[in-house]
Amino acid sequence: MDPGVRRNRKSSSNFCKYCKRKGHSEDGCFKKKESQDKSFCTENRGPNRLAEMKGLESSNVETTVTRERPAEFLIDSAATTHICIQKDWFSNLKQIYPTEVLVGERDSSAKAVGIGDIKFTILDFKGKVEINLKNVLYVPKMRRNLICGAQIDIVGNYIEWGRDKMIIYNSRKEYMFSVNRVDKPYIVYGYPTKYEAKFKEVALISNWKLDFVHRRFCHVNILLIQSMSKNNSVKGIEHLSKSKVENCVNCKIAKSTRSSLKKNYTYRRTTQRCLDRVHCDLWGPAPVTSMGGNRFFVYY
């Protein structure tokens, strides 16, 4: 068969009716696929997509508010403004033209789409402290909420640094709240004031008593727990109530020792009748259970 005739048959049979070109069929046309992808993206930006996003926002709001752990803000000394990623936290959010906000490196940026105020309640170890953050940018693409460290100083407050802790004083040099360093960032824990009713059952470990943490940590030494709290070795126990641990019965039983036997116990009878004194020992738990399902054994 003549090669030229073969090429003519292939080109005549494979003709795309969409782009009016030879060499491929309509099913394999790249221009048709590109137009379909563009139309699909345009349809998703329509009212159905908007309704879906609204439903997603409402579900996120409910999840954010009813979660069992408190919300958090990072205090960033290098930030130039407050930033929040939660839309429902704002008390008066205004939509603005998308503005790029530099994040970290020069080439990294995120778009701010709104600005407003946030009333935030800080859970300090001395009690609850309400602060009002002004001109907070709403940047949904950010990873964390940020409080501008410079803004704290601009409004007239005082900041004291030292010993892995940041202490904030007002203009009259009265104590407001303190922020502990968690790894490298300084994190403020609390919740939006507008959702105070839903955060009533939030249990911060800062309100826990020392004896409660002692039991939760399997009766670890008290001095060790205080050292971990002071050095921020364990996240969440930065603040502990200044309560004393009373006599722990479990610790006393676990640390009990047997009374020593006298040297002449074999020569002198110390009992009057049988079974007045019984020497026993408890062994276990065994790595393999017995046929009766037991893992502990008592020896007499």
Domain stops at, among 177, 198, 219: 198
Ranked by mean pLDDT, which of 3-17, 103-117, 118-132, 219-233 comes out on top? 118-132
Nearest CA-CA partner of 300 in 278, 284, 285: 278
Look at 207 and 291; give whichever has higher pLDDT. Answer: 291
Cα–Cα distance list, 88 to 2, 7, 69, 116, 209 (Å):
73, 65, 17, 11, 33
Q: Residue 240: inside a domain, yes or no? A: yes
pLDDT at residue 135 is higher than 50: yes
| 97 plus 171 within the same structural domain | yes
Q: Residue 116: inside a domain, yes or no? A: yes
| 138 plus 222 within the same structural domain | no
| 154 plus 219 within the same structural domain | no
| 83 plus 181 within the same structural domain | yes
Mean predicted confidence (pLDDT) in 127-148 = 86
| 226 plus 123 within the same structural domain | no
Mean predicted confidence (pLDDT) in 1-12 = 47
Q: Residue 61: inside a domain, yes or no? A: no
Q: Residue 40: inside a domain, yes or no? A: no
| CATH code for position 87 | 2.40.70
* Proportion of the chain above pLDDT 70, given as a percent: 70
Mean predicted confidence (pLDDT) in 136-144 = 86
| 223 plus 179 within the same structural domain | no
Distance in angstroms (rounded) separating the CA atoms of residues 190 and 120: 7
Mean predicted confidence (pLDDT) in 150-155 = 83
pLDDT for position 48: 40
Instruction: Indicate the average pLDDT of the chain.
Output: 73
| 220 plus 127 within the same structural domain | no
Q: Residue 219: inside a domain, yes or no? A: yes
| 149 plus 121 within the same structural domain | yes
- Token representation of residue 122: 């800080």
pLDDT for position 205: 43
Strands 109-124 and 94-102: antiparallel
CA quadruple 21, 23, 26, 30: dihedral sign? negative
pLDDT for position 290: 83
Look at 245 and 172; give whichever has higher pLDDT. Answer: 172
| 225 plus 107 within the same structural domain | no
Distance in angstroms (rounded) separating the CA atoms of residues 146 and 82: 6
Q: What is the pTM of this model?
A: 0.46
Q: Residue 296: inside a domain, yes or no? A: no
Boundaries of domain holding 242: 210-255
pLDDT for position 245: 74
| 92 plus 161 within the same structural domain | yes
Domain stops at, among 150, 176, 198: 198
| 102 plus 143 within the same structural domain | yes
Look at 251 and 9; give whichever has higher pLDDT. Answer: 251
pLDDT at residue 126 is higher than 70: yes
pLDDT for position 189: 84
Mean predicted confidence (pLDDT) in 118-143 = 85
pLDDT for position 218: 82
The domain tally of the chain equals 2
| 83 plus 123 within the same structural domain | yes
pLDDT tens-digit readout, 231-285? 767 766 766 666 677 778 888 777 766 666 665 555 566 677 777 777 788 888 8
Q: Residue 30: inside a domain, yes or no? A: no
> Which range (129-133, 144-148, 160-164, 284-288) has the least confidence?
160-164
Using CA atoms in the order 172, 177, 181, 187, what is the torsion angle rounded to 10 degrees? Answer: -120
Q: Residue 158: inside a domain, yes or no? A: yes
